[in-house]
Amino acid sequence: MPLITESDYRAPRWFKNRHVQTIFPTVFRRVSSIPYRRERLETPDGDFVDLDWSQCGHPRVAVLLHGLEGHSERKYMLGMVRALNAHGIDTVSLNFRGCSGEPNRKLHFYHSGFTADLHTVVQHLDRMSQYQTIDLIGFSIGGNQTLKYLGENRPALSKKIRKAVCFSVPIDLSACAKKMDEPPQAIYLKRFLRMFKEKIVQKRRQWQGADDESLNLDGFEKIKSFFDFDNRYTAPLFGYKSAQDYYAANSSRQFLPNISVPTLLITALDDPFLDENCFPIELAKTHNFLHLETPRQGGHMGFVSKHAKGLYWSEARALKFLGTAPEALAQP
């Protein structure tokens, strides 16, 4: 069965702490910038998403989806792009609405289960005759979108979609929102709330004069949790009755049984962001397509390693699952 009981990831000596694993790559990892080619893709609802391409003339392409308030220049995105390009796969990095450096047109932006734009990108790739296969790679909420998409759109999935790899995914949004309320996660929560406020301020400037309570900043200082923010902003902006209603509709866990393409979900047991409900062990034991790997360490999207080719373990592991590299490459 696809449950991988023994991961081969071993954290280096100084990276056994979950918070060090989570923070170090963001702050200290050095990855050369990718010479992206940007494409603006119009969406069916009159908005747009910006795609960043890294093309080397390969017949395969991977769609990369970043994490919360991320973008195509994050270290984990650049590292994965570099690894895929070097081993026979072109990449297109999807910047979520409002995350490409320019505000999107609509009042709303994106959320953790917003799969419409991923579907638009896949349809776009389907129309491009140069690509024979499509792989999907999602990080954190980008992984939640990926898993939800694979499970909710099974009858309509492109036949070109071959495999998917997802890292550190909050497949139970409600449980993870509660997890982020715990004291050890305070530093991360504070950073995210600051970023969320900046996005609302940006939207207010863009929609100046619009009479819309969904952008009201009065009392924002009272927002102390993901639940508070999602209840006040995310849910009403997207037509949900409450944060809990939004979480229930968009957690990818409920869609996992319907996945019908080989999919690797990698979640470290020490991930500080994720609740125990994010480890679908019993499902993976009987699932024909969901491969679950749970390294003992790795933090949230960490998986630091000293690979000879400059790869992090997560990148080497993705290459191995996608079948683009020799077995030895996956070893840290």
Question: Which of 252, 271, 275, 305 is the catalytic position?
Answer: 271
Active-site residue (options: 72, 93, 112, 140): 140
Residue in 54, 72, 300, 314 annotated catalytic: 300
Asked if 47 is an active-site residue, the reply is no
Whether 275 is a known active-site residue: answer no
Question: How far is it, in rounded angstroms, from Cα 203 to Cα 293?
Answer: 39
3-state SS, one letter per residue, for the chain: CCEECCCCCCCCHHHCCHHHHHHHHHHHCCCCCCCCEEEEEECCCCCEEEEEEECCCCCEEEEEECCCCCCCCCHHHHHHHHHHHHCCCEEEEEECCCCCCCCCCCCCCCCCCCCHHHHHHHHHHHCCCCCCEEEEEEECHHHHHHHHHHHHCHHHCCCCEEEEEEECCCCCHHHHHHHCCCHHHHHHHHHHHHHHHHHHHHHHHHCCCCCCHHHCCCCHHHCCCHHHHHHHHHHHHCCCCCHHHHHHHHCHHHHHHHCCCCEEEECCCCCCCCCHHHCCHHHHHHCCCEEEECCCCCCCCCCCCCCCCCCCHHHHHHHHHHCCCCHHHHCC
Q: For 60-84, give one letter per residue: b (16+ CB within 10 A) or e.
A: bbbbbbbbbbbbbbbbbbbbbbbbb
Cβ neighbours of residue 116 under 8 Å, at least 6 residues apart? 43, 44, 45
140 is catalytic: yes
Q: Give me the amino acid identity at 297.
A: Q
The catalytic site residues sit at: 140, 271, 300
